[in-house]
Amino acid sequence: MDLGLKDRICLVTGSTAGIGLETARLLAAEGAQVVVNGRDPDRVEEARAEVGAALGVACDLAEPGAGEALVIEATEALGPVECLVNNVGEAYQASFEELTDEQWDAMWQLNVMSYVRCIRAALPAMKEAKAGTIVNVSSTAGKRPSTGMPNYSVTKAAVLSLSRLVADLYAKHGIRCNAVAPGPTATPAWLGEGGLADQQAAASIKTRVEVLEAVGAGRPLGRLAEPAEIASVIAFLCSERASYVTGSAWSADGGTVPIII
């Protein structure tokens, strides 16, 4: 199926691993001119080469001004960003009572404000073109908070609200904005050393393997998602095949959140 993405300039934040990397790979395979992004310059270059991206930009999107600079660099190199995928973010286990103000603020800057800044920077060119697509990666925790990840859950709920807000504000300019809410996915965030599986194991009597088995069994489909499965949903929402879809929050969670919207 032709997704209508050939030569489309697509910026994917947080795209050196996991869902972001698979999204960049899929968009590049569809013929898009993809911009990959991450904090580590070496990993950015590796991702750029691996997926055949047109450009790689290293920056810390938690920093004020970084999102705007990223969009400017992409625009100067390739042209106006036509498709923006906000994927960058972090997650970790924590107690609500033990979380500090600094931890709340740090996660807010990366998980929410980076999205705001990149959207804000991309909007003028999209408005001028009377076209543009934005996809924001949220989480099942944005629809049903995870008690073990309080600040993460709140930021991901904010991403859902932000997505609907942008959709409502800019539909008249031909700009679509949607959110994707993945469930637990087999990415470094879960599987990596010190990741969520290790954190849950350390806080319980379960082993790392037992944690992953239990998390998978907690989905109606009985397993974690693969990154490419989430990337496929994102690519569809970026595509011309979703030309009448905006303001939605697409669950890609194996049936985790038991609601019909």
Sheet strand arrangement including 9-12: 55-58, 33-38, 9-12, 83-86, 132-137, 175-182, 249-252
- Rounded to 5 degrees, φ, ψ at 248 are -100, 160
Q: Which candidate in 92, 115, 152, 170 is catalytic?
A: 152
Whether 92 is catalytic is no
Rounded CA gap, 29 and 40, in Å? 24
Spatial separation of the C-alpha atoms in residues 69 and 147, rounded to whole Å: 35
| 25: nearest Cα among 40, 38, 39, 12 | 12
Alpha helices in the chain (DSSP H): 18-29, 41-51, 66-78, 101-108, 114-129, 140-143, 150-170, 188-191, 196-202, 208-217, 227-238
Say if CB 36 and CB 15 are below 8 A apart: yes
Report the phi/psi class of residue 181: left, alpha or beta, with left for phi > 0 and alpha for psi in -120 to 50: beta
- d(Cα 135, Cα 81) in Å, to the nearest integer? 13
- The angle that helices 101-108 and 150-170 make with each other, rounded to 10 degrees, is 30
Question: Which residues are marked as active site?
Answer: 152
